[in-house]
Amino acid sequence: MVQKTTKTEEKEVIKEVDPKKRAEYLYSVGKRKTSVAQVRVFKKGEGEIVINEKKLHEYFPTKERQETVKAPLTLIGQGDKLNVSVKVLGGGTVSQSEAIRHGVSLALVQLNPNFRKPLKKAGYITRDARKKERKKPGLKRARRAPQWKKR
Strand partners, 86: 39, 51
3-state helix, strand, coil in the chain (%, to 5): 35, 20, 50
Stretch 35-58: mean pLDDT, rounded? 95
- Enumerate the domain spans of the chain: 22-122
Nearest CA to 42 among 57, 59, 62, 25?
25
Return d(Cα 37, Cα 97) in angstroms, integer: 9
Indicate yes or no: pTM above 0.75.
yes
Q: Check residue 79 and give its pLDDT.
A: 87
pLDDT at 124 over 90: yes
Q: Check residue 1 and give its pLDDT.
A: 59
Q: Does domain 22-122 have CATH number 3.40.640.10?
A: no
Nearest CA to 110 among 50, 41, 44?
41
Q: Check residue 120 and give its pLDDT.
A: 96
Nearest CA to 121 among 71, 66, 67, 65?
71
Under the banding of pLDDT at 50, 70 and 90, the label for residue 22 is low
pLDDT at 125 over 60: yes
Lowest mean pLDDT segment, chosen from 7-11, 36-40, 48-52, 58-62: 7-11
pLDDT at 3 over 70: no
Nearest CA to 34 among 93, 86, 85?
93
Residue 64's Cβ-count burial label (10 Å; 0-12, 13-18, 19+) is exposed
- Write the CA distances from 37 to 8, 52, 73, 86, integer angstroms: 40, 10, 16, 7
- Write the CA distances from 121 to 19, 21, 136, integer angstroms: 34, 32, 37
